[in-house]
Amino acid sequence: MLGPTLQAATYVRPRGAFYRSATQTFGFIGYLLRRRIPNSSLPEVMLLALDHINLYLFTAGLFEKPHEIGRWRQGTYRAVTAGSGFIRTLTLGLEGLGQVELELGTAWAGRASLPVIDLVVGLAQSDGASN
């Protein structure tokens, strides 16, 4: 799957997944809160990985072997990061999937993901503007 050239990897979720799962315990009130959270056709948990050539996106189900969703050569995708605090959002422009909004926790153990996101954004296609 990934060779010895793996540079970085982290777990990510589709935008809104954290809030959707947090509001499920509130019953009907949770349903009212979830109405405004965007739904995604992407898996609940994914693995974002980089090697020296490609950016990879894998499904990462519990007790399942990861399956590749897609791969994109470095410099052919767009990446923008936003947010601070406990959740950071990474927006990727990927050929074949379009605009994909991902989120990852940055508190405590999630802080290890921040250098990965910086690397993804740094190796993305530059359009003349700062990402």
| Phi-psi group of 59: left, alpha or beta (phi > 0 → left; psi -120 to 50 → alpha; rest → beta) | beta
Residue with the larger pLDDT of the pair 46 and 126: 46
Band of residue 35 on the pLDDT scale cut at 50, 70, 90:
low
Q: What are 113's two structure tokens?
A: 């993901």
For 58-108, write each residue's pLDDT tens digit: 888 778 888 888 899 988 999 988 877 677 888 888 888 888 888 887 655
The CATH code belonging to domain 8-122 is: 2.30.29.30
Each as own residue / partner, the long-range contacts of residues 14-22 (CB below 8 Å, 24 or more positions apart, any chain) are: 14/40, 14/42, 14/43, 14/44, 14/46, 14/100, 14/101, 14/102, 14/103, 15/40, 15/89, 15/101, 15/102, 15/103, 16/40, 16/103, 17/44, 17/103, 18/87, 18/103, 18/105
Q: How far apart are alpha carbons 130 and 128 in whole angstroms?
A: 7
The pTM of the whole model exceeds 0.75: no
Structural domain boundaries in the chain = 8-122
What pLDDT score was predicted for residue 22? Answer: 63
Span 5-26, average pLDDT = 73
